[in-house]
């Protein structure tokens, strides 16, 4: 609506919840090589998920190929997961930047600021994101911790490529 072209794609990220089980996991466990995470809810359900669907979408449902992939990763890490029943699944839309890092910056449109492209990390990074975003709005300049997160980094050729995966959102 503002007439901006942003270096962001939307992808679906699926999550799953199992039946209630006796306590087995007391923290969040992640398997970075397989893009898998799992924790246990207060009601005993195992909450888990993994990689994004590889296709751009605004749908809130994922593809079966990714369901299979997530379960393969989970069972390779926790073989007992294969014996639990999954009660529900859902998908959420993730705003994925081209380099896997967020954009926290002013836009060329007056009084329009951008805090987007957080990929998987947005919810977990909310406190730091809010602090840096408030600093930008209040002082008109990026917080030192967010200087590399400027929107023009894509035009200037200064993408943040912490993992060396290149400019493709589904690889981050």
Q: Is the pLDDT of residue 160 over 80?
A: no
The predicted model gives 6-22 an average pLDDT of 91
The pLDDT value given to residue 167: 55
DSSP at 132: H
Banded model confidence at residue 123, pLDDT cuts 50, 70, 90: low
Lowest mean pLDDT among 27-31, 50-54, 136-140, 142-146: 50-54
> Could you say which of 3.40.50.800, 3.30.9.10, 3.20.20.70, 1.10.10.60 is the CATH number of the domain covering 8-96?
3.30.9.10
Q: Is the pLDDT of residue 17 over 60?
A: yes
Write the DSSP string, 90-127.
Answer: EEEEEEEETTSS-EEEE-SSTT-EEEE-BTT-TTTTHH
Banded model confidence at residue 53, pLDDT cuts 50, 70, 90: confident
Beta strands (DSSP E) in 21-160 are 29-31, 36-40, 45-56, 86-97, 103-106, 113-116
| DSSP H/E element including 19 | strand 8-20
**pTM metric for this prediction:** 0.70
Intervals of CATH 3.30.9.10 along the chain = 8-96
Cα separation, 81 vs 99, whole angstroms:
33
The predicted model gives 146-164 an average pLDDT of 80
pLDDT tens-place string over residues 95-120: 888 888 889 999 999 899 999 988 77
The predicted model gives 48-59 an average pLDDT of 80
């Amino acid at each position: 609506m503002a007439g901006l072209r942003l270096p962001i794609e939307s992808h679906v990220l699926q999550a799953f919840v199992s039946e209630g089980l006796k306590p087995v996991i007391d923290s969040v466990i992640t398997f970075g090589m397989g893009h898998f995470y799992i924790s246990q809810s207060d009601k005993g359900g195992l909450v888990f998920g993994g990689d994004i669907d590889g296709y751009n979408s605004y749908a809130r449902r994922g593809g079966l190929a990714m369901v299979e992939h997530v379960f393969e990763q989970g069972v390779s890490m926790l073989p007992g997961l294969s014996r639990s029943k999954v009660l529900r699944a859902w998908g959420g839309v993730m705003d994925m930047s081209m380099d896997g890092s967020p954009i926290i910056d002013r836009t060329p449109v007056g009084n329009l600021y951008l805090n987007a492209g957080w990929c998987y990390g947005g919810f977990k990074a909310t406190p730091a994101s809010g602090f840096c975003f408030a600093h930008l709005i209040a002082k008109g300049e990026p917080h030192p911790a967010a200087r590399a997160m400027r929107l023009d980094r894509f035009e200037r050729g200064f993408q943040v490529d912490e993992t060396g995966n290149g400019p493709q959102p589904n690889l981050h």
